[in-house]
Amino acid sequence: MMTTETYIKENERTSEKHKSNVFESINTLTPLVRTHLSEKHYYSSVSNNDDNTSQVRIDRQPASLAVEAAVAIIINGIHYAVLMASPHQLEYLAVGFLFSEGLIQHSHELLDWDVTQLTDTASYQPFTQESADQGLESESVEAESLEQTLQQLQDYDIYIVELILNQRCHQRIQAQKRQLAGRTGCGMCGITGLAQALPDLSSYAQDNVSNGSNKKSATPSLDSLLEMRQQVDATQHTHQLTGAVHAAATMHQQQLYLFEDVGRHNALDKLIGWQLRQKVDVDCVLMTSRLSIELVQKSIRGRIPWLVGMSAPTSTAVRVAERYGLGLAGFLRNDRVTYYSGT
């Protein structure tokens, strides 16, 4: 069985040719997989008992499990969100997430970034100081609170992604925070929340009318999709070890680019973040999951012409895809695919 450290090193070697800048900023080995002891209880397929009564067998063996980390996104000093994600390609994840949230529109709006893994009291201290300044009354209370926090969080992998955005983006964040605060009892907060969760994406629409082009995005052929799926199956190393992560993948200049994560939304955000940073256009994205409305919304914002899944889309996902000109296909299996929109 491949160890965690061996996997990380091999993954870095195979992905090295994909990197054209210094965007991958974590130089230390990042644990994506850990080994835990487990007991497998199962019935033997062959029973040797005279009464044909099956016996439960127990197999004790190590199990490779995917790491699920808490990733705190801090924008211009503002604690914005905490994502549960695979702790790899976190810069791409953060940029793609901010783009999907509508906080950035272009790669150059990101001025700087830094990723920190919290491992001990010293690494926690800079991020607890703000809370101390705002609410703690004494050093003893601060020390007690920090110790309690460390005990509470000791089972978690925690990463801080600090992003510096330009002034225009900072104003968007402040405006969104004011909207999220709402106005108590006015009856508008629910409508505001719905509008944010179910936004108007007309400005991102990909149909002929909205983009002024007579060229329609070509429907990906079954052969091309099956070939992409074969490459994804062969490249999805973390899933092969754990069976617990999703992937978002695309072909660019005849090269497969694949992004894995415990969350399918995170996997797509990583791909979109990579797309923004590398300033490339993609024709089709393949997801190893079902196609939910959130994935469709992210794809529309990212102006991705085709979104293909290995499982089914939801009805809402198809309706929104049709409205905004996104090609949608699902049930990509060994010999078939089903198109729902865009053909």
Q: What's residue 131's pLDDT? A: 53
Mind listing the pLDDT tens digit for each residue in 287-307? 999 999 999 999 999 999 999
Mind listing the pLDDT tens digit for each residue in 238-273? 999 999 999 999 999 999 999 999 999 999 999 999
Q: What's residue 177's pLDDT? A: 66
Q: How many residues does the chain have?
A: 343
Range of lowest pLDDT (12-16, 71-75, 180-184, 338-342): 12-16
Q: Is 284 known to be catalytic?
A: no
Which of 169, 186, 189, 284 is the catalytic position? 186
* Helix intervals (H) in the chain: 4-15, 90-100, 121-135, 139-153, 167-181, 189-197, 208-211, 222-235, 237-242, 264-278, 293-301, 315-324
Q: What's residue 27's pLDDT? A: 34
Mind listing the pLDDT tens digit for each residue in 112-143? 999 999 887 778 777 765 555 544 444 555 66
Q: What's residue 53's pLDDT? A: 64
Count each helix (H run) and each strand (E run) in the chain, helices first. Answer: 12, 12
d(CA 236, CA 230): 10
Stretch 85-98: mean pLDDT, rounded? 95
With 50 as the cut, is the pLDDT of residue 23 above it?
A: no
Stretch 63-78: mean pLDDT, rounded? 94
- Confidence at 24, pLDDT banded by 50, 70, 90: very low
